[in-house]
Amino acid sequence: MTVEGNRRSNCIELDHVTKSYGQIQALGDLSFVIPVGGRYALLGPNGAGKSTTLKLLVGSLRPDSGDVRILGSHPESREAKAVVGYLPEDALPYRMLSVRENLEYIGALRGVEGLKDRVDYLLDELDLRQYERSNVGRLSRGNTQKLAIALALIHSPKVLLLDEPLNYLDIPTQEKVISMLDTLEGTHLVSTHIMSIANRLTDSVVMISKGAVLWEGTIEGLRKKGSPEEPIEKVVARMMTGAF
């Protein structure tokens, strides 16, 4: 396949990316590719560089070296931003706006057609209807997280980047969000340090540690790295600690 052909079939590309915060190196020569339509978990221990990777993919950070692409475009480009939906970790939508105003504002910025219907749909799906007139500053952490998920989904993104999406959610809501994400098309990259979440939301894994790829492949392949009776979490833990 040509380079151009690769670009078209690849959705997310990181090529020898490095990123440091002062003296602290967050990513050291990180490279991986996620194909269009892929459902990947970005798995790693705390401080592995998962959030930094997602921030590079949404253009909030710039790599010190290397190249980052979303559907062939630089993350800071209008083209890339138009197709990406991003849920940051510990998301904080506009505190001075109500839930509905947040959704309408972001929807308007993104030029969502049929915005009112879309907002109503998300309010109902995520059980936010009763809070639609409440200011975000008054919401519980769980409801704030639900709103942040709705904001990431409002434009039906082709590329969904989720950083610890189930944080703060109760179990029924977690199940609802998982079902909702299951029905969505597009490419998903879910950053998490919890294997069970990766297992529910994705079918493939990019495991990183200390800013570099440790292992990548399907969850099935990951399972096969251990014995049949061994929980997958144990396998992952051994791999992350380098005990393999």
Q: CA quadruple 160, 164, 169, 173: dihedral positive or negative? A: positive
> Least separation, in Å, of the C-beta of 109 and other proteins?
5
Cβ proximity to other proteins: between 43 and 84 the closer is: 84
d(CA 150, CA 164): 15
Q: CA–CA distance from 197 to each of 4, 101, 176, 205 (Å)?
A: 34, 30, 13, 12
> Least separation, in Å, of the C-beta of 177 and other proteins?
18
Residue 200 dihedral angles phi and psi, to the nearest 5°: -80, -35
Query: What does the chain come to in residues?
Result: 244
Cβ proximity to other proteins: between 95 and 224 the closer is: 95
Which member of 12, 17, 151, 195 binds other proteins (CB under 8 A)? 151
Cβ proximity to other proteins: between 61 and 126 the closer is: 61
> Least separation, in Å, of the C-beta of 227 and other proteins?
38
Q: According to DSSP H, which parts of the chain are helical?
A: 3-9, 50-57, 78-83, 99-109, 115-125, 141-153, 171-183, 195-201, 219-223, 232-240
Q: Under the criterion CB under 8 A, does residue 17 sit at the interface with other proteins?
A: no
What is the pattern of x (binds other proteins, CB under 8 A) and - over residues 45-64? Answer: ------x---x--xxxxx--
What is the pattern of x (binds other proteins, CB under 8 A) and - over residues 64-83? Answer: --------------xx-xx-
> Least separation, in Å, of the C-beta of 156 and other proteins?
14
| Contact yes or no for 71/38 (Cβ under 8 A) | no
Pairing of strands 187-192, 39-43: parallel
Q: Which stretch binds other proteins (CB under 8 A): 91-99, 167-175, 207-215, 234-242?
A: 91-99
| Contact yes or no for 244/230 (Cβ under 8 A) | no
Q: Under the criterion CB under 8 A, does residue 106 sit at the interface with other proteins?
A: yes
Catalog residues that contact other proteins under the rule CB under 8 A: 21, 51, 55, 58-62, 78-79, 81-82, 84, 86, 88-95, 102, 106, 109-110, 151
